[in-house]
Amino acid sequence: MWLKVFCGLQVTFHVLLVLLGVGMSLAMSLSPSTTTSPGDPPPWVVGVFLVVVYLPIAVAYVVGLVGPRRPWMYGYGIFLAVLGFMCGGCWFMAIPFLIFWVKPETKYWYETAPPE
């Protein structure tokens, strides 16, 4: 259950970032007269960057959200927790999740998955 909650929150957060990026890109195409400070990238560049970076991360969390109870999913859960550390605002979710995830009971539950 912890994996589903963690992945659900992360998917929501990353989809919002992707939508923000799309919104920034579209806003610049509708109103290109926005001025920026010298040396700052145009907002559409930042928008494209947000989409390119956070869309694959959101997809990775969707896999964690719908993934089956298999032994490889335990390792994937650790990967998702580490991926959560890459976003500074997600540490408060990733630390408790990782503490729970490395418990022997969790590993045993995933390694004793029922056969298909």
Contact call for residues 81 and 98 (beta carbons, < 8 A): yes
When pLDDT is averaged across residues 91-103 and rounded to a whole number, the result is 86
Domain ranges for the chain, please list them. Answer: 2-28+43-111
Contact call for residues 16 and 100 (beta carbons, < 8 A): no
pLDDT tens digits, one per residue of 56-91:
989 999 998 898 888 888 889 889 888 888 876 778
